Amino acid sequence: MQPIDVVKTRFQIQGVTSDPSRYTSILDCITRMIRNEGFFSLYKGILPPVVADTPKRAAKFLVFESSKSACASVNFTGPWSLVTAGLASGTVEGAIIAPFERVKVYIQVQRQRMSEMPNTWLVAREIIKRDGWGTRGLTKGFHATVLRNAMFNAVYFGSYYNMKYLLIPPEKQDSIPLRLCLGFTAGALSSLGNLPVDVAKSRIQASQSPKYTRTFPTILTVWREEGFLGFIQRSFTKDYSIWGKVVQLCCWCMNRLQTI
């Protein structure tokens, strides 16, 4: 997934269409990265998420299960209890990964060849030395990261478990194909739901400009200057075949669930 994440970040930080270095499509981005920066440029910034993965997942599911139990203890059950538990788990997860995301994004947007790049630890040290540990330095984009993960987990866990319990009979809830369908649909809904915040996060963490410093002002700036397509990126919309297959698969999943 790392190459996809790198390409996504490169698109999210693109500005106006007059930028001569702007990528025109997913294929154009991948081709130019490999040609100008080397094949392994697609794996730029891979170390921070690898290091953060174990603690973030442990905290994510621990808080989710604990929050579900806490909701049940006060008789707060039903669909919204799962959304609330997901929101809590995403908040904690986002707080844990924020400094790792800052370093990852900073590395991903650099256009030097891999052999010319400093290693991850040197990048982190340079950020701390130049800007400190706070929200202008290592934890830059903290609020956007927390909000992004909170929104993602709220929609993901809420939609996944509610679709599972409401649409699938109990005797078929262990079906692996159906659970894959649910997971894909929930993931697609979550990604679309937090897209504006994710774009704001990337721009805040990648930019040294005072133009992008806070989450909601950044979202408003992108909306005002680039419109709705600034969030989904015009270049991605050209790859209509990919989006078409995603839509078709989502429709197939929902149709499959309704015909059980």
What is the pLDDT averaged over residues 17-29?
Answer: 82
How many CB atoms sit inside 10 A of residue 211's CB? 13
What is the pLDDT averaged over residues 37-44?
Answer: 95
Q: DSSP letter at 119?
A: P
Q: Classify the C-alpha dihedral 133-125-97-225 as positive or negative.
A: positive
> What is the reported pLDDT for 106?
96
Supply the angle between the helices 195-206 and 142-167 in degrees, to the nearest 10. Answer: 160
Contacts of 147 by beta carbon, 8 Å cutoff, 6+ apart: 94, 194, 197, 215
Domain chopping of the chain, boundaries: 2-258
Report the C-alpha gap between 85 and 81 in whole angstroms.
Answer: 6
* pTM: predicted TM-score of the whole model, two decimal places: 0.86
Q: Which CATH architecture has domain 2-258?
A: Alpha/alpha barrel (1.50)
**pLDDT at residue 258 is higher than 60:** no
**pLDDT at residue 97 is higher than 50:** yes
> What is the reported pLDDT for 103?
97
